[in-house]
Structure 1
Amino acid sequence: MSNIIQLFERMGQDAGLQSRDAQLTAIQATDLTAELKQALLANDAVSLERQLDIAPDIFCALFPAEDEQPTEEAPAEQEQDTIRMVANG
């Protein structure tokens, strides 16, 4: 599998591999299986996904955080802050 990843990396980095002829030459020069080469040459994404055993569907879910419930200590701290403010005021 690393050979095909290296090929994709090379195709993404090398501007000379943007033409179809250059891509064909690069694909034929690799030591990939015949099935992978055929799928690449035919631009068959479904076949590539099956052969490489990848899951193209990725799902993401975000759940909002729940508000923290006030504890019994919070009101006592607030009262002490209020008392200090009055004493300093």
Structure 2
Amino acid sequence: MSNIIQLLERMGQDAQLQDAQQLAQEIAQAEISAEQKQALINQDTQALHDELDVCADVVCMMVPAKDDKPKDDKESETKPDSETSSLLLQA
């Protein structure tokens, strides 16, 4: 599969391959399957997708995690925790 990917990369980078004759010669010399060559010559993207088994429907999404009930900073400042309360009572 890397040969077809390398050829596609070269096709995108090399301006000389915009010429149909140059492109046909490059495709003919490439070490790819006959089906891939035919799809490239015919500019049949669907056949090339099928040949390469391309999965174009990739979906990514992020969902925030559910947090516990957020604590109020005011509540924590005004209400001493049980350990602090017991220390205050002992003094």
Compute the TM-score of the two structures, normalised by the length of structure 1.
0.69
Following TM superposition, where does structure 1 have runs of at least 4 consecutive aligned residues deviating by more than 3 angstroms? 60-63, 65-69
Give the drift of 1:60.
3.9
Match of 1:17 in 2: 17
Give the drift of 1:61.
3.7
Whole-Å separation in 2 of the counterparts to 1:29 and 1:70: 65
For 2:8, give the aligned amino acid. F
For 1:9, give the aligned amino acid. E
Identity of aligned residues (%): 41
- Which segments of 5 or more consecutive residues in structure 2 lack a partner in the other structure? 79-91
The count of aligned residue pairs is 76
> Which one has the largest radius of gyration?
2
- Which segments of 5 or more consecutive residues in structure 1 lack a partner in the other structure? 80-89
Q: CA RMSD in A?
A: 2.2
Whole-Å separation in 1 of the counterparts to 2:43 and 2:18: 14
